[in-house]
């Protein structure tokens, strides 16, 4: 593939993320608390999570291995962080969640698989076929260091928020409660806030357009979903804290 073709496809992919924001603001993706019986073809929730998340590292590594990258320390760290994140999302997280009996629409799973295939392609192809090797000195670049700190903080926030949400349910329960304490004092969805920080940090570490496109898509997906969660909480619980925002403290 010509570099110009790849870049044009990537720019189109980034524009698509922005164009879909109004759609997602108007209609929450129908899974989790927003699932609807009208989506009849559904599969087990855990299996759905595993299937749609494992695609991302497989797609990334497929395109990297098809190319001829120079695996310097910065690239090894970046790809390692990507793989670690998705090991958690595709294996660890589905096994931790308490959603026995819950299902997810197959259409949602297929949509997420498609996104992860494309996202893995853009980033893997870039590193495997297009990008010059990262020099070892990139590890000491202020952009890499700041991005790494942001990634770690975001991953920690995301993991801790997930843990607190999982703990709201006793084994066998499927209902919802109001999360309390920590960042939940300020926002409804610190898990989404943390994941956005995580991939913004990754984009700084990688310092390329494919990684930036991933951060854009993450925000384009999770900000509308956080707003939908926030509206759902307020509609379901009359005593929901009125000062709590959706995803950004004091702002949104």
pLDDT for 172 beyond 90 = no
Cα(200)–Cα(219) distance, rounded to whole angstroms? 9
Q: Are 106 and 45 in contact (CB under 8 A)?
A: no
Which helix or strand (DSSP H or E) is residue 225 part of?
helix 209-236
Which helix or strand (DSSP H or E) is residue 196 part of?
helix 190-206
Mean pLDDT of 215-236: 96
Band of residue 102 on the pLDDT scale cut at 50, 70, 90: confident
pTM for this structure? 0.94
pLDDT digits (tens, 9 = 90+) for 116-147: 999 999 999 999 999 999 999 999 999 999 99
Q: What confidence score (pLDDT) does residue 88 get?
A: 95
pLDDT for 225 beyond 80 = yes
The number of beta carbons lying within 10 Å of the beta carbon of residue 101 is: 8
pLDDT digits (tens, 9 = 90+) for 69-80: 999 999 999 999
Q: Are 93 and 155 in contact (CB under 8 A)?
A: no
Which helix or strand (DSSP H or E) is residue 152 part of?
helix 142-167
The number of beta carbons lying within 10 Å of the beta carbon of residue 225 is: 21
C-alpha distances out from residue 112 to 52, 54, 115, 116, 132, Å: 6, 10, 5, 6, 30
Mean pLDDT of 98-126: 93
Mean pLDDT of 244-250: 93
Nearest to 143 by CA among 85, 202, 209, 84: 202
Q: What confidence score (pLDDT) does residue 108 get?
A: 92
pLDDT digits (tens, 9 = 90+) for 9-56: 999 999 999 999 999 999 888 887 888 777 779 999 999 999 999 999
pLDDT digits (tens, 9 = 90+) for 180-199: 999 999 999 999 999 999 99
Q: What confidence score (pLDDT) does residue 39 get?
A: 76
Q: Are 89 and 49 in contact (CB under 8 A)?
A: yes
Percent of the chain at pLDDT above 70?
100
Helix (H/G/I), strand (E/B), else coil: 105: strand
């Amino acid at each position: 593939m010509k570099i110009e073709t790849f870049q044009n496809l990537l720019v189109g992919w980034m524009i698509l993320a922005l164009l879909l924001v109004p759609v997602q603001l108007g209609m929450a993706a129908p899974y989790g608390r927003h699932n609807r019986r009208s989506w009849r073809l559904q599969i087990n929730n855990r299996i759905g999570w595993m299937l749609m998340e494992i695609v991302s590292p497989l797609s990334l590594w497929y395109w990297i291995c098809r190319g001829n990258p120079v695996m310097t320390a910065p690239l090894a760290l970046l790809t390692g962080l990507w793989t670690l994140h998705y090991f958690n999302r595709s294996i660890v997280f589905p096994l931790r969640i308490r959603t026995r009996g819950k299902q997810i629409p197959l259409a949602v799973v297929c949509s997420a698989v498609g996104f992860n295939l494309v996202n893995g392609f853009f980033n893997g192809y870039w590193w495997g076929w297009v990008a010059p090797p990262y020099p070892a000195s990139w590890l000491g670049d202020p952009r890499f260091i700041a991005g790494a700190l942001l990634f770690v903080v975001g991953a920690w926030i995301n993991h801790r928020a997930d843990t607190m949400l999982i703990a709201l349910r006793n084994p066998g329960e499927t209902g919802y409660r109001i999360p309390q304490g920590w960042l939940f004092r300020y926002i409804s969805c610190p898990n989404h806030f943390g994941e956005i920080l995580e991939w913004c940090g990754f984009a700084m570490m990688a310092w390329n357009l494919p990684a930036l496109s991933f951060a854009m898509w993450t925000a384009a997906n999770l900000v509308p979903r956080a707003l939908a969660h926030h509206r759902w909480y307020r509609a379901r619980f009359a005593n929901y804290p009125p000062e709590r925002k959706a995803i950004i403290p004091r702002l949104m």
